[in-house]
């Protein structure tokens, strides 16, 4: 007798609910007819991924008995996205600090602007799904920037998930895993099932979304975990912006004199792709013994100007001026045209 027939013989006299629980609920009709569902994805008003996954698991909680595993997957993915988004914010801060240091000598610690370490963390965020290395990466970047530690709700949510799946979340996605194709969760009638504390996990995730990720308006209310990071980011960005605005003012006051010159080649340290072509002419000026150039890439937005510092014939990492509230290009253009010099772009 085949194994399938043996199994049927063993189960034929047992109550159906012992091995087929939840089937009736899972066969419930969809809320809308399939022909009526048409969703436009993308666009500037689309909600973020984390918010949509959070809304999805919250909407399913009332059917937790039969939908526990997809709910757990959504909860886990919501936390993973939050952790990764936070790491990316910290890496953006470090990149901005490196940019300010390279172009304007704005002070930044050597560890914070270590690009080899930055690249390692960037790759980790985009390749890893396990919480342990992601939490280690998050904690390290917070320490580098002297920001507050990870709030307890993050750790408590992670620990509840790890009780069920200490890995990359595969147990919530597949019935069997690994080369041995072992069951994700024991389904034997006499086995030892794991208990998913969905409500406790939901409380910690709600706290992360509502208390720790809230950005206060006009400085009102307590400062959240995300608020601290956001305010730090704004401070780093403003340091660079003020440096650019200072150059703009000195240009309008005639203290900085610009000229049209051949473009220096892209340096190995620049964030401009060396395969892209710079326009052959640039705008250049000497500022307190330092050489600054304004360049533009071929075939790009006509207002996509980049400001870099030239060292030994190569360009440093470059500021994309559209990211800052400055009119330095027009100040340079006006100063040159006032002397009868044609601006090449």
Could you tell me how many helices (H) and strands (E) the chain has, helices first? 11, 9
- In tens digits, the chain (345 residues) has pLDDT values of 455 556 556 555 555 444 444 444 455 555 555 666 777 777 777 778 899 999 999 999 999 988 999 999 999 999 999 999 999 999 999 999 998 888 888 888 888 888 889 999 999 999 999 999 999 999 999 999 999 999 999 999 999 999 999 999 988 888 877 766 676 676 656 667 788 899 999 999 999 998 888 776 655 667 789 989 999 999 999 999 999 999 999 999 999 999 998 887 655 555 555 555 777 888 999 988 888 988 887 766 666 788 888 877 777 778 888 777 788 988 999 999 998 888 877
> What pTM did the predictor assign?
0.81
CB 292 within 8 Å of CB 261: no
The angle that helices 131-144 and 152-162 make with each other, rounded to 10 degrees, is 170
From residue 116, alpha-carbon distances to 105, 119, 122 in Å are: 20, 5, 10
Residue 157 and residue 135: Cα distance in Å, rounded?
12
Exposure of 99 by Cβ count < 10 A (0-12 exposed, 13-18 middle, 19+ buried)? buried
In whole angstroms, give the CA distance from residue 129 to residue 80. 7
- Rounded to a whole number of angstroms, the distance between the first and last alpha carbons of the chain is 83
Please, is 193 exposed, middle or buried when counting C-beta atoms within 10 Å of its C-beta (0-12, 13-18, 19+)? exposed
Considering only CA atoms, give the Rg of the chain: 28
Rounded Cα gap, residues 196 and 104, in angstroms:
53
C-alpha dist (Å) from residue 34 to 37, 149, 232 = 6, 46, 47
Domain map (residue ranges) of the chain: 46-213, 242-337
Closest to 319 in 3D by CA, of 230, 232, 248: 248
Residue 332: both structure tokens together:
């340079």
* Beta strand extents in 153-247 (DSSP E only): 176-177, 182-183
Partnered with residue 314 across adjacent β-strands are 265, 311
Pairing status of strand 258-262 against strand 182-183: unpaired
């Amino acid at each position: 007798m085949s194994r399938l027939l043996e199994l049927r013989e063993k189960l034929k006299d047992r109550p159906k609910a012992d091995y087929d629980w939840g089937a009736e609920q899972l066969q419930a009709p969809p809320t809308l007819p399939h022909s009526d569902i048409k969703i436009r994805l993308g666009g500037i008003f689309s909600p973020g991924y984390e918010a949509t996954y959070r809304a999805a698991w919250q909407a399913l909680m009332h059917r937790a008995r039969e939908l526990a595993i997809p709910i757990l997957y959504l909860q886990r993915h919501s936390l993973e996205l939050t952790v990764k988004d936070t790491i990316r914010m910290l890496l953006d801060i470090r990149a901005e600090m490196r940019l300010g240091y390279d172009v304007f000598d704005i002070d930044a610690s050597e560890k914070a602007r270590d690009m080899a370490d930055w690249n390692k963390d960037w790759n980790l965020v985009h390749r890893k799904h396990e919480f342990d290395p992601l939490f280690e990466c998050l904690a390290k970047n917070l320490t580098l920037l002297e920001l507050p530690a990870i709030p307890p709700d993050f750790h408590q949510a992670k620990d509840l998930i790890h009780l069920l799946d200490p890995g990359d979340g595969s147990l919530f996605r597949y019935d069997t895993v690994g080369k041995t194709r072992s069951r994700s969760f024991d389904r034997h009638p006499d086995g030892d099932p794991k208990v998913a504390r969905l409500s406790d996990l939901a409380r910690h995730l709600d706290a992360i979304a509502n208390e720790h990720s809230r950005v206060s308006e006009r400085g009102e209310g307590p400062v959240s975990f995300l608020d601290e990071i956001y305010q730090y980011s704004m401070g780093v960005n403003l340091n660079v912006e003020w440096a650019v605005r200072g150059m703009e003012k000195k240009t309008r006051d005639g203290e900085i004199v610009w000229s049209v010159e051949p473009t220096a080649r892209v340096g190995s340290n620049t964030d401009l792709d060396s395969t892209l072509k710079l326009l052959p002419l640039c705008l250049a000026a000497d500022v307190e013994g330092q050489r600054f150039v304004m360049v533009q890439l071929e075939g790009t937005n006509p207002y996509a100007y980049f400001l870099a510092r030239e060292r030994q014939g190569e360009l440093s990492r470059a500021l994309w001026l559209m990211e800052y509230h400055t009119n330095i290009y027009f100040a340079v253009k006006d100063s040159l045209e006032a002397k009868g010099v044609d601006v090449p772009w």
